[in-house]
Every structure is written in C-alpha cells, then in structure tokens.
Structure 1
Amino acid sequence: MIRIEPVTGLGEIAPGDDLADLLRPRVAPAADTVLVVTQKIVSKAEDRYVDLHTVRPGATAIDLAERTRKDPRLVELVLAESSAVVRAAPNVLITRHRTGHVMANAGIDQSNIGAGGNDRVLLLPLDADTSAAALHDALGIPVVIADSFGRPWRYGTVNVAIGAAGLPSLVDQRGDEDRDGRTLQVTQVALADMIASAAGLAMGEASEGIPAAIVHGLAWHAVPRAASALVRPLEEDLFR
C-alpha cells in the first residue's frame, strides 16, 4: 500500500545548510521508499538567490518586459536561465530552461523564500539531477526533487520531477504486453513525476511549510535514470 509521510520540523533553510544532515534524522532508508524534496529548499541551500537590484536589463529584456508586463530585471534573469522563449503574452512568459524543462519564468520564484523583500528571487538549482544524486549518496535513499509546473491545456499546477537519483524517472514499457496480449507501442511511465505529484498532496503549494515528504510502498523493475530522461528532445517537439 502506498503511504505518503510529510517531513516536518526542518525550519527555514539557509544558504550553506547541509540538507542531508538536516534530513537524516527524519529519513529511514527502505527498499520501497523514496524521499521527495522541493526544489525550493535545494535552491535555498545552494544559495541560488539573486537580488534584483544587482540586475541590469538589456534591450531584449526591456522589450519583452513591456510585452509581458513584468519587471525587466526579472525578465533579464529569465533570459539568462533559458535557451528559448516559448510564449510571451501579457502576464505570461514561458521559456525553455537551460536544462530543457519548459516552464513559466524559467522557474524563478519569489514565494516562500524568507526575508529579503520584494527584490529578491530564487533560481532553480544549477543541476537538480546532481543535487538529487548528492542527497541519494548521503542518505542511501532514492530522491526526487520536485517543482510545481502549470500545464498548457489545464488549469492548476502539479508537482513534477526536475531531479532524480536512485530510481527510474522514466519506465519504458514499449514491447510489454497488456492483459489481452497486445504489444504496447508507446507506453512510457513518468514514474518520478507521479511520485512528485503524490508527495505534493502532503507538502502543499502555499503556506504549509512542509518542504519534503517520504513516499512508501513503491516498487519498480527498471534501472535508475535521472530526471533529464523525462525531457523530450527538441527534435521531438510536437508543438513548435
């Protein structure tokens, strides 16, 4: 039976904090268990803060800020973190992050980042798969780093995996048979995304203050794959 256990009592994470040390007393490694942590606490520990006062927007950012009605300093950071602008409209800026994820504002956020005023923002980790691998090695438990994504044809956000280690983020079932003996042609299961979304039920999206959760009762029979395996390559982009 799958069970989701919130991890509480971590407090506000500060730059330089050792997440593994903070999480170790709250995590008991088991064969059927995955630790899910929010991107936000990973970014905080890695000091991915930027003070907007230090940002000087260029001409491209200023033009894009006018079109999107956003702070040009924020837009400059978004462009620096992105490989392409996917969609720009009033109050909307969707980009392809340098890691391949397509997301709003390159994942740059100002909510729940502690003291510092309205001119401080938090960027994604430099490499969430590397961050997940470090936690996995230190704690001896599979790890998913989760972030909240919107979806282009549905309202609301869901948690997805932007980093993973110690588990197969993507399980390829092509070639397997269904219950009627038909060969599966396209089925690939985004296991890490499903685990991240399940953990989101315990962690919440607003002021809950629960930055991690443990998902028990899981099983898989595939080799570990990082979360980068979930990113569809550009040559397979169906919507450009």
Structure 2
Amino acid sequence: MPGSLSILAPDGVPEVVAGDDLAAVLLTALAPEQVADGDVLVVTSKIVSKAEGRVVTGDREEWIGRETTRVVAQRGATRIVRNRLGLTMAAAGIDSSNVAAGSIVLLPEDPDASARALRRTVAERVGANVGVVVTDTAGRPWREGQTDIAIGAAGITVLESFAGRVDGHGNELAVTAPAVADEVAGAVELAQGKLGARPFALVRGRADLVLPAGEDGPGAASLIRAEGADLFGYGAREAVLRAVAGCDEDRSPFGAPVSAEELVDALARAGITAQGSPAGEVRCPTDRRVAVDIVAFAHGWVVTEFGTDLRLQPVSP
C-alpha cells in the first residue's frame, strides 16, 4: 500500500557464536519465501560481531583504549570517543550486555563489508535483491536517550538528497538530506525491542531505496563526517583544553583555517583588537599573547613575532 511500511522481527533466533553462518540463521528465522526483491534486511552489529568472532575477554577499559583513535569528551567515567571506524560513540561502541559475564563484544571489523557479504549470500541462496543494514545503538548530542543507527550498509541508499527540489509552497530546499539508513535502523529497533532477542528484521515498503543487483553503494561509512568537517569535534571542556595546550596533532578536529575576517571577529569577541592585511595576514598587539595563541589555534592559524606586533597566518594544508 502507498505510504505503508511493514517490519517483521522474528522470535526464536538461537544464540549465535563465532563461525556461525549468519545468512542461514537469518533465513531460517524468516523463512526464505518471506524474502523478496526490494526488502531491506536489518541486523544488529552484536549478532554480526558474534558470528565474526569479535567477542573477547579482558579488561574493558583496555579494549576501549585499543578501539579509540581520540577522546572527544569525558565526564566522569563516561567517555565519548572517535573509534577506529570513525564513529563517535560512548566507550568506542564496546558492549558487555547480552553476552556471557566477563566477555566484551567489539564492533565488527568492517560493518560495510559484513553487510556486503550478507547481501551477496542472501542473493545466492534465495535469488532476492535486498538491501542490508547493520545497526548499533548511539546517543545524540543535545537529546536524552539513545536510538539505533546504521553503521554498515550494502545495496541501499543511505542518504537521500533533496537539495534543489521545491516544496509544496514553491520553496527550494537547500540542505535537506534525510539519513534514510539511520531512519530504517531506528524504525526496526521499535519492532525488535531492546530485550526482545530479535536481532534480525525484514523491512518492506521502501524498495525505492534498494539499489540494483551488483551495486552495493557507498555504505554507512559515507554517513561519517571527516575529521574537521564536524562542528563539534571536541566536547566543550575538551576544546578549551586542546586549544590551551596547542599541540599540532590536536588541530584537525577544529576544522580548516577560517578566513582573516572571521579570525579578526573571533579575536574581537575575545577582547583583542586585530587588523587584517591585504596579504591575508592578521596583526595584533603583543600585550595578550597567550590569549591570541589560544584563539588562533582554535581557528586554524599560527602566531609569530613581527617587530612589536604579532603576525598571524593560516596553517598550511
């Protein structure tokens, strides 16, 4: 029916262990005849990790450190980090629920590759062209609670673009881009339930999102903003500390250097009088050198002495 979406999350899925045939487990739970072209198969990352042998033992904090590329924010025992997949998550996405005591579940080695493999195997066994989404749970800045997002995908559009389209009132849309893979993940979580032991689901009603056979698409990795492209590369406290420390290796999350006009404005907001030059430099007095260094670092510029003034230049690429 137009405008309808159905989600089937079957019960009775057995415990998955390393080496299990994930496609066989899924198709047994769903029944092959229930899978059709245009369906989207959604599977939790935990069940993928278990099948791929990503359940480990040892110190949880040590494993978080291994999976972390940098700390984004920390409040007490809670650490939000950017992990090796580029995802920004609490505890690097490591989980110790729904697993034997003393064990830890790491995220799949490559969730997009896992999705591609599952899609290919399902196509071989039942002849259906389906999309596949691998999900995990994540929090959201500015909002309480968590929801499932797509961390792996194959054969499905993950991001729609409405830029350039016109709404019913004649207004042109500029940056509207629904993250449809994340929306599918969130919808499926409602049917699965957090404690329902339903790690798979079949979504029907959005065949328009499923790519032609043989086309896997860019995967869920394409939803991750590159370092420096995110406006919130550090938490509020961490951003201050990184700017004060001024280590070159901490520059990337602050983004590309701003224009001279933006830097002059930022310095002014910090109570520092500065002037831009035709050469693209910025100059200001030396009387607040420490503050100038901090503001410049956070905006992608470097400071050098120039006679009685300070000369500021953007960091070279």
Which of residues 148, 151, 158 is equivalent to 1:162? Answer: 151
Ranked by relative contact order (alpha carbons within 8 Å, sequence separation 6 or more), the top structure is: 1
Alignment match, 2:75: 89
Work out whether 1:208 is the aligned partner of 2:196: yes
Alignment match, 2:54: 48
SS at match of 2:228: helix
Mark the CA change 1:222 to 1:36 in structure 2 (over 3 Å): closer, same or farther.
closer
Which of residues 108, 111, 118 is equivalent to 2:94? Answer: 108
Cα RMSD after superposing both structures: 1.6
Alignment match, 2:218: 225
Displacement of 1:221 after TM fit? 6.0
Q: TM-score, normalised by structure 2?
A: 0.65
In structure 1, what residue type is equivalent to 2:68?
S
In structure 2, what residue type is equivalent to 1:124?
L
Once residues 128 and 177 of structure 1 are traced to their aligned partners in structure 2, the CA distance between those partners, rounded to angstroms, is 35
Displacement of 1:2 after TM fit? 0.4
Mark the CA change 1:212 to 1:221 in structure 2 (over 3 Å): closer, same or farther.
closer
Q: Which range moves more in the overlay, 120-129 or 81-90?
A: 81-90
Post-superposition CA distance 1:76-110 (Å, at most 9, x none): 21121121111122120110011111001011000
Alignment match, 1:194: 183
Work out whether 1:122 is the aligned partner of 2:122: no
Displacement of 1:219 after TM fit? 3.7
Displacement of 1:177 after TM fit? 1.9
Once residues 90 and 150 of structure 1 are traced to their aligned partners in structure 2, the CA distance between those partners, rounded to angstroms, is 17
Q: Contact 1:171/1:222 (CA < 8 Å) preserved in 2? A: no
Alignment match, 1:18: 21
Once residues 99 and 77 of structure 1 are traced to their aligned partners in structure 2, the CA distance between those partners, rounded to angstroms, is 14
Q: Which range moves more in the overlay, 172-181 or 125-134?
A: 172-181
Post-superposition CA distance 1:163-210 (Å, at most 9, x none): 0001011112212222223221101110100000000001111x2111
Work out whether 1:182 is the aligned partner of 2:171: yes
Q: Contact 1:149/1:159 (CA < 8 Å) preserved in 2? A: yes
Alignment match, 1:6: 9
Q: Contact 2:155/2:210 (CA < 8 Å) preserved in 1? A: no
Q: Contact 2:131/2:210 (CA < 8 Å) preserved in 1? A: no
Once residues 31 and 179 of structure 1 are traced to their aligned partners in structure 2, the CA distance between those partners, rounded to angstroms, is 32
SS at match of 1:80: helix
Q: Contact 2:39/2:210 (CA < 8 Å) preserved in 1? A: no
Alignment match, 1:133: 116
SS at match of 1:179: coil
